Chains A and B, each alone.
Chain A
């Protein structure tokens, strides 16, 4: 049966999405390791279905500033993919690529921002490539867009995009681990409901 809202997903469907997330984030971590020349692992990916205000709390409060890279998906799957990069992750990238770190987001110049966009773009593209290969769907991606602002506002972008269809936000994503420490960088995939139904049907897990 096709779902009308993200909270109607059953456990088999959620397991399937988690598996997609696992393959996607695993590939993204490998790509990241290669670029940075350091071994980066990924935590177990999770599928979360959250109310709007719950999602804001989960990401760490509305007003904290963070860097976000966003790519929009089109083609057979419509949706948004976001890379939310917190300061420890930003510094891991900058140190490996540019040999410098920053104390706060205010220290990010044009060059640093462009490095973050590139890293975000590579991780997202790798994730989507693995995802589309695994599921046999073709997905088009827009060029990446960058924002440095309150994370609450960044997270409302996928909410507003699909808010007319659901009171919930679904994200598939994981966190990176470097040198035994968690480096918070969320890779979040938010498909729209129609695409999600199409995907689950194609994979044969939807009983409809």
Chain B
């Protein structure tokens, strides 16, 4: 893979056109979403932390799955991508700590996954493949030209999908 890597932080999104690598590090319960328009070679990588935006001020749309996905689609479409061509691959939503009992702590990952599914479905965007859940952190790389994604985890083999 090429050297030029564009880093996507937490509650962040970056768009790239043509070629290059988008990368987001250490997804725990957060979810990384790779958007791709193959005809336009346009790609976006989004890193969301929480399922639903319930903030009054809405200062930080990219933090949440619902507003984050809509904002990303809006920006991609502004640059010429077409909704019916855009495909998505996702990774993340793990449960880092199991504190036991009836605790909301471990559920954020699961709630993130469900919210991402629901919003993608509602927006009419195709989900191609996902590697979600489990208990390990994932670093997600996305190759803009090919639309291939790669997951790095501690003590595991890389997954290319």
Please report A residues at the B interface, Cβ cutoff 8 Å.
52-53, 56, 62-63, 65, 68, 70-72, 80, 106, 142-143, 145-154, 156-157, 159-161, 163-164, 167
Contact A163–B63 (Cβ < 8 Å): yes
Q: Using a CB–CB distance below 8 Å, which chain B residues touch chain A? A: 9-12, 25-30, 49-50, 54-55, 59-60, 63, 94, 96-101, 103, 105, 108, 135-137, 139, 152, 154-155
Between A and B, 9 residue pairs with Cβ closer than 8 Å are A62-B139, A72-B105, A142-B99, A150-B137, A153-B26, A153-B28, A153-B94, A156-B29, A160-B49
B26 in contact with A150 (CB, 8 Å): yes
A156 touches B103 (CB 8 A): no
Chain A residues contacting B101 (CB-CB under 8 Å) are: 142
* The residue from A148, A152, A160 contacting B26, defined by CB atoms under 8 A apart: A152
| A143, B27: Cβ atoms closer than 8 Å | no
Instruction: State in angstroms the CA–CA spacing of A34 and B58 once bound together.
Output: 49
Is A143 in contact with B26, judged by CB distance below 8 angstroms? no
Q: Which among A151, A153, A157, A161 has the greatest number of chain B C-beta atoms within 10 A?
A: A153
Cβ contact of B96, chosen from A72, A106, A143, A149, cutoff 8 A: A149
What chain A residues lie within 8 Å of B98 (beta carbons)? 145
Give min CB distance, A78 to chain B, whole Å: 11
**Chain B residues within 8 Å of A157, by CB:** 28-29, 96-97, 105
Across the interface, which residues of A come within 8 angstroms of B28, CB to CB? 149-150, 152-154, 156-157, 160
Collect the chain B residues with CB atoms within 8 Å of residue A65's CB.
Answer: 154
Q: Are A160 and B50 in contact (CB under 8 A)?
A: yes
Contacts of A167 in B (CB 8 A): 11, 59-60, 63
Shortest CB distance A118–B (Å): 16
A63 with B139, Cβ < 8 A, contacts A153-B94, A163-B50 known: yes
* Shortest distance between the CB of A142 and any CB in chain B (Å): 5
- Is A152 a contact partner of B25 (Cβ separation < 8 A)? yes
CA distance A154 to B154 in the complex (A): 13
A157-B96, A161-B108, A167-B59 are known contacts. Are A150 and B139 too (CB-CB below 8 A)?
Answer: yes
Interchain CB contact under 8 A, A53 and B99 = no
Q: Are B105 and A156 in contact (CB under 8 A)?
A: no
> Smallest CB–CB gap between B56 and chain A, Å?
10
CB atoms of A56 and B137 under 8 A apart: no
Instruction: Known A65-B154, A149-B154, A161-B105; judge A156-B99 contact (CB<8 A).
Output: no
Residues on the B chain within 8 Å of A146, using CB: 97
B103 touches A72 (CB 8 A): yes
Task: Please indicate the chain B residues that have their CB under 8 angstroms from the CB of A149 in the complex.
Answer: 28, 96, 136-137, 154
> Which residues of the partner chain A approach B9 to less than 8 Å between Cβ atoms?
52-53, 56
| Alpha-carbon gap, A208 to B99, bound state (A) | 35
State which of B30, B97, B108, B154 has its C-beta within 8 Å of the C-beta of A145. B97
Within the assembled complex, what's the spacing in Å between the Cα atoms of A148 and B155? Answer: 10
User: Across the interface, do B26 and A62 meet the contact criterion of CB distance under 8 Å?
Assistant: yes
* Residues of B close to A80: CB separation below 8 A: 105
Query: What chain B residues lie within 8 Å of A142 (beta carbons)?
Result: 99-101, 103
- With A142-B99, A149-B28, A153-B27 already in contact, 6 other A-B pairs whose C-beta atoms are closer than 8 Å: A52-B11, A65-B154, A106-B155, A142-B103, A145-B100, A147-B96
Q: Are A153 and B137 in contact (CB under 8 A)?
A: yes
Task: With CB as the reference atom, state the residue of chain B lying closest to A53.
Answer: B9
Interface contact A164-B50, CB-CB below 8 Å: yes
